[in-house]
Amino acid sequence: MPSEQLSDWIIIEADGQQVVTTSLGSAEMQLQLPMFEETFEVDREALARCLRADVVAVDIETDTHWQGVGPKADYGLSYPAAVTVIALAWTEGRLLQTTALAASATSTFDDATLAFVRALITGKALLVAHNAVFDFRQLSKLVGGEVPERIWDTQAMARLLHPAVDVSYSLLAVAAALGLAVPERQQNMKSQRGKLHTLPMETAMEYAQDDARLTLQIYQKQRALPGDAELIDWECRAMREYCRMAAQGIRLNVPYVEQRLVELGEQREIVAERLRADGLENPSSPQARVKYLYETKGIPMPRWEAESEHFFTWAGRKRLRAAPGAPVEFGDLSTRADVIDAHMEANSAYAEQLKDISAYTEIDWLMSTLKGLLDHAAIDGRLHSLVTIATESGRRASSYPHMQNWKMPEMAGVAIGDEGFTLVEIDYNNAENVMAAYISGDNNLAAAIVAEDFHSTMAAQYFGAEWENADPTERKRLRTMSKKITFGTAYGMGAERLGQSIGVSTEEALRVLKTKDAVFTNVTKFRGMAQKKARDTRMLKLWTGRPVAVPTPFVAWNYVCQGGVSEVLKRAIVLLSEAYHASRMRSRVALDMHDALILEIAHDEWDAALKLASDVMTSITPEEQNRKTTPPIRWRAAPSLDENPKKWGAQQWHP
């Protein structure tokens, strides 16, 4: 069949620039049995010009049709999903150029195209993408795991350079925030993202080119904004490391996981039998579990308020926010494992009765998690989690698959280092309290942090003479209460909720809060300043100068402390990765886990690599600021080599 020539060039005006789009020469319909396959001739001249550009925007599309391998839900966002389209945008003078590469029907690219992709990824150009970790994780499969050295993520930069309250950081939302017009065709295509496999390849290529073009225009707008060059540099370096972590992944201990699933299934059935005998006929049903908790067991239904949102489903929170004063319904309530644990903790009278439902939900969660991990690791036995900024405060999360919600020791042994390597967790001890002391310069909090037992020291402050006169058993109880006070109030817990949590009256809880404020005066002062600033401007700055949007004064201090720790972790990831590379070590940062780093340590580098990690992690904040308190602020970050074999290092070599 002769080729049908397509329109070679489309020239339009976009934001003052001429936009030149190539549809890749010609499209040829080749007769196949039993179907027709579209193939697209590659414009090699355009690709050569692209490689000469200083800045190139990249957007990829992946196969959205589950092929029987990998996770069925959100398959197109998973590592196993094949890259189907690679779209590129760059400028030549005032001309904004775009082109796209399409995979074959078998989701493969020819050798010449793969050579181009490798040249682009390993070249010197600044590569721009929106949610860069996803794009470069997927592209790394085509180039042996390589990721670009220089990356600008327009989504991450939107949070840094123009954050705002209650906004989306999707591509179209960021474009709108910067005053960029988006064609109606492109807007309409966003609803088709999950079923691109049903659309003609030419449509998918146009869609990807539209996104690459818009990403480049967003970059140009962002570069023109006022911004701290040092913060921008940190963000770009961090993005490079997040992309490397996602591309390399972590090995899944497949035989162990498969055996664990068998064991857990047997345990779950034993617990389910007891629950059915107790009136919960279908333990796997969330609706049935809600009725079991609040009807069969008679637990008081949670009230809808800011401090109790975790008891509700996402849909329940949405409904109750939209209808203030509406009564809580069964359908609003969650029965996640953490919700049941909260009932057991806050309502000790129900703790014994809820043991079985707690065990069931915990086992059920664990089995679901393990099955999902097997799916995500289906093509290479590795977990390639996406580490991206997930909150206004800058704290990161992992997704596809989720790994930051792993519970230890339940998940011990699930992920393991490669041959000759061991996974090691290094946690920032008491990180958010250290950050609170660092920001506020509070001497009393700084002293408690360096004490041999932080929570006992805090209990002595909260309970005074009661602590001094208590016997060891009572001190243990007061110390447990102290932990709840310290961590609960850090997240804005009020007197009523605190009283419920520690088992005292609201009046007594209020007394504790007033005592806490009186003892830690600088924390109280700076918390008030943060709340006022949030009330007046809805914006705060972290210790690094990074701006964060704050929705309400209620969360202001939490954002400052939590966001501050996130900045510490981010810089630790960058500096430690660069230090390992400079020292020609094979050890690496494998994952960002809340207030900890998961390292993959080479056995022949064990002592040196761990010492280097601790040295880097404990020296992130400026020493001048550390010394503003008496005693000085000291960050603690060292591996617990006694505990590591029971957690991230399980089933792996230790010296």
- Alpha helix ranges (H) inside 453-587: 454-463, 465-468, 472-490, 495-502, 506-519, 521-537, 556-582
Based on the fold, state whether residues 209 and 286 are members of the same structural domain.
no
**8 Å CB contact between 272 and 360:** yes
Is 534 within the bounds of a domain? no
Evaluate whether 243 touches 250 at the Cβ level (below 8 Å): no
Both 12 and 89 in one domain: the answer is: yes
Whether residue 619 sits in one domain with residue 579: yes
The answer to whether position 527 is within a domain reads no
Phi and psi at residue 480, to the nearest 5°: -60, -45
384 domain residue, yes or no: no
Q: How far apart are CA 433 and CA 490, in angstroms?
A: 8
pLDDT at residue 13, rounded to an integer:
44
**pLDDT single digits (tens) 140-191:** 999 999 999 999 999 999 999 999 999 999 999 999 999 999 988 888 888 7
Provide the domain limits for residue 608.
Answer: 390-431+562-646
Residue 351 has a pLDDT of 83
Residue 23: predicted pLDDT: 46
Decide if 529 is inside a domain: no
Q: Are 398 and 133 in contact (CB under 8 A)?
A: no
Q: Given this model, what pLDDT does residue 38 score?
A: 57
> What integer pLDDT is reported at residue 348 of this predicted model?
64
Query: Is residue 456 situated within a structural domain?
Result: yes
**Which one-letter amino acid corresponds to residue 384?**
H
User: Could you write out the three-class secondary structure of 302-336?
Assistant: CCCCHHHHHHECHHHHHHHHHCCCCCCCHHHECCC
pLDDT value of residue 36: 40
In which residue ranges of the chain is pLDDT below 50?
A: 1-14, 23-36
Are residues 356 and 417 located together in one domain of the fold? no
Q: Are residues 41 and 172 in the same domain?
A: yes
215 and 269 housed in the same domain: no
Q: Is 538 domain-assigned?
A: no
H or E stretch including 337?
helix 337-346
**Adjacency order of strands within the sheet including 637-639:** 588-593, 596-602, 421-428, 637-639
Q: For residue 474, tell me if it sits in a domain.
A: yes
Using one digit for the tens of pLDDT, what is the confidence trace for 55-67?
999 999 999 999 8
259 and 337 both lie in a single domain:
yes
Paired tokens of 497: 């909720």
Answer yes or no: do 42 and 181 share one domain. yes
Beta bridge partners of 383: 250
Residue 409 to residue 44: CA distance in whole angstroms: 53
Which CATH number does the domain housing residue 402 bear? 3.30.70.370
Same domain for 410 and 492, yes or no, is no
Is the full-model pTM beyond 0.85? yes
Residue 444, H or E segment? helix 443-450
Which strand (E) or helix (H) includes residue 113?
helix 111-122
Q: Are residue 299 and residue 336 in the same domain, yes or no?
A: yes
Structure token digits, residue 355: 């043991």
> Is residue 38 within 8 Å of 27, Cβ to Cβ?
yes
Helical residues (DSSP H) of 178-313, grouped into ranges: 184-189, 201-224, 229-248, 254-277, 286-291
Mean pLDDT of the chain: 90
Q: State how beta strands 126-129 and 55-62 pair.
A: parallel
Tokens standing for residue 339: 């919700």
Predicted pLDDT of residue 22: 53
The pLDDT score that the predictor gives to residue 345 is 73
**240 and 273 co-located in one domain:** no
Q: What is the pLDDT of residue 3?
A: 33
* Number of domains composing the chain: 4
DSSP E strand stretches across 32-148: 36-40, 55-62, 83-92, 95-102, 126-129
CATH code at position 134: 3.30.420.10
Q: Do residues 10 and 45 both lie within one domain?
A: yes
- Interacting residues of 134 by C-beta distance below 8 A, sequence separation 6+: 77, 386
Residue 532 counted as domain residue: no
Rounded Cα–Cα distance for residues 50 and 99 (Å): 9
CB 600 within 8 Å of CB 420: no
Tokens 């996602």 belong to which residue? 246
